Amino acid sequence: MRNTSYKRLSPNVLSFIIPLYLLVLHFFPIPITGDSPPLYNPTDIYTVDCGASGNLKAWDNRIWIGDTNSRFSLIEKNKASIISKAAKTSPSVDPVPFATARLSRFQFAYIFPVTTGQKFIRLHFYPSSVAGFDRSKAFFSVKIGGYTLLNNFSAALAADAHGDETVSKEFCVNVKQGDQMLNITFTPTASDPDAYAFINGIEIVSMPDYLYYTSPQNGGIQFIGQKNVFWIEIEYALEMVYRLNVGGRFVSPMEDTGMFRTWDEDDDYCVKLAFVPANSSIDLKFTQQPEYTAPPDVYRTARTMGNNKTENMGYNLTWVLSVDSGFNYLLRLHFCEFQPEITERQDREFTIFIANQTAENHADVITWSGGNGVPIYRDYAVMMPSQGSNKKQNLYIQLHPNPDWRTRYNDAILNGIELFKVSKFDNSLAGPNPDPPPNSVPPPPAQSTSPKDYDTQLVAIVCGMVACIVALSTLCLFIRRRGGRRRDADPGASWWGPFSYTSAQSTRASY
């Protein structure tokens, strides 16, 4: 019988190695892309710096094109839109594309010539006030063809709710044959005469066919809690809600596989920060999926539960994702077994719970992928029904090790998470705005300067001064009388006593 325990390191060694490993991983990331060509070459790439002109280079060396005199069209009513430049940008905010914007109190649209197929649409916002346009008044909708991406959207509320300075939204849409013009329309909310729409940057990037949509050759994906399967049909629009490199570092758009996706760290979403194994030297074998599916770094890092069997059996490895109520979601989980001790079926088998329901009783990455170092992903559809007046609810992803008789190691593993909102039958992805943060203490009302009010204020001031003088005189008389009695009793004593910094300090400390 095989040994069923991990090789253990002493707690003292672990306490030194783990922080050192995290430090090296985050500040000295291992290059994975280098100067090698991208794994996917999009047929359409637009990076538009709205309100700017010419070619501009962002911090990551991507070139953005200003929206003036460009090869795409800007349609606006009476040329009513204006170009604004942020009064100042934070040192942490890239001026390209966030330093300039196009804004208007009237509808305006961009029209891009594109090829047939599925596209990423990324919208970038930097909600800042400029002359005549308060950031709190920017409420607007964004539509692409028949899809409503945003409705009555406030970038300021979205940024403030997450403590961010900028907001970026990523969507997926399909361009049908014969519809080679992509129209992105911005419309201020009509119910507010002061409302306006704005945009700082637009990206359009082609994606491989059926990267996220269900291929006609596919039999559909598992619908959690339902008997039927679910199809992510090309008639749906998608909104990317989370894209996480589980256990790994932030992966920038330039480090993606050619589609300029961003992969965030998962620290803020994992309930218990478990073990973070990594294998930077493993030669990944993409035999089950295209190499462009996710960056190699996603499959070379992970979270596991560690080697404490007793502790592992007593809890779930859990991620909590806040989502809009009333939508279906596409959840993609990325897996890759890269630890050398996991090579055979049932070496590491576990249960997956999604939205508090069982998704997999016998999750086994080796069984799914066929071997160690072979990336694989699993797709699930999740319904998050409305819950009364609750705008948001939590989607739980939980992994639990299977018992000894099912698995060699009582452990679980996950490498990456992607979550997409699926449009409703009315082709809408629009969710509610976050609640505004609690109002700060309002300033006192402005005082009137009329003669009557001035006289009233003057009388109040004089009365206050008289009261202070009377109180001070009474206090002095009391002190003098008490001091006289003390001098009669002890001629050498001083009522005030010597001033001491030490005594003053002690008095402060006792407050």
Per residue, the 3-state secondary structure of 104-153, as one string, reads ECCCEEEEEECCCEEEEEEEEECCCCECCECHHHCCEEEEECCEEEEEEE
Structure token pair of residue 24: 């090296």
Q: Who has greater pLDDT, 7 or 395?
A: 395
Q: Do domains 17-40+221-432 and 41-207 have the same CATH topology?
A: yes
Q: Please say whether the beta carbons of 141 and 189 come within 8 A.
A: yes
Class in CATH terms, 41-207: mainly beta
Domain locations in the chain as residue ranges: 17-40+221-432, 41-207
> Is the pLDDT assigned to residue 152 strictly greater than 50?
yes
Q: Who has greater pLDDT, 452 or 313?
A: 313
DSSP 394: E
Least reliable range by pLDDT among 74-78, 395-399, 437-441: 437-441
pLDDT digits (tens, 9 = 90+) for 88-136: 778 999 999 999 999 999 999 999 999 999 999 999 999 999 888 999 9
Report the alpha-carbon distance of residue 167 to residue 19 in Å, rounded.
31
Looking at domain 17-40+221-432, which of 2.60.120.430, 2.40.10.220, 3.90.550.10, 1.10.3720.10 is its CATH number?
2.60.120.430
Q: Which of 116, 126, 115, 120 is nearest to 50 (CA)?
A: 126
> Is the pLDDT assigned to residue 214 strictly greater than 80?
yes
The percent of residues in the chain predicted with pLDDT above 70, rounded, is 79
pLDDT digits (tens, 9 = 90+) for 308-317: 999 999 999 9
Q: Please say whether the beta carbons of 271 and 399 come within 8 A.
A: no
Q: Please say whether the beta carbons of 345 and 364 come within 8 A.
A: yes
pLDDT digits (tens, 9 = 90+) for 38-59: 899 999 999 999 999 999 999 9
Report the alpha-carbon distance of residue 509 to residue 69 in Å, rounded.
68
Report the alpha-carbon distance of residue 418 to residue 363 in Å, rounded.
18
Q: Who has greater pLDDT, 102 or 448?
A: 102
Residues 6+ apart with CB under 8 A from 376: 288, 289, 334, 335, 336, 365, 368, 369
Report the alpha-carbon distance of residue 382 to residue 436 in Å, rounded.
28
> What residue type is assigned to position 104 of the chain?
S
> Highest mean pLDDT range out of 131-145, 441-455, 495-509?
131-145
Q: Give percent helix, percent strand, percent coil of the chain, each to the nearest 5.
A: 20, 35, 45
148 CB-contact burial (10 Å; exposed 0-12 / middle 13-18 / buried 19+): middle
Q: Please say whether the beta carbons of 331 and 412 come within 8 A.
A: no
> Is the pLDDT assigned to residue 506 strictly greater than 60?
no
Q: Please say whether the beta carbons of 345 and 362 come within 8 A.
A: no
Question: What's the sign of the alpha-carbon dihedral 317, 405, 340, 6?
Answer: positive
Per-residue pLDDT, 304: 98
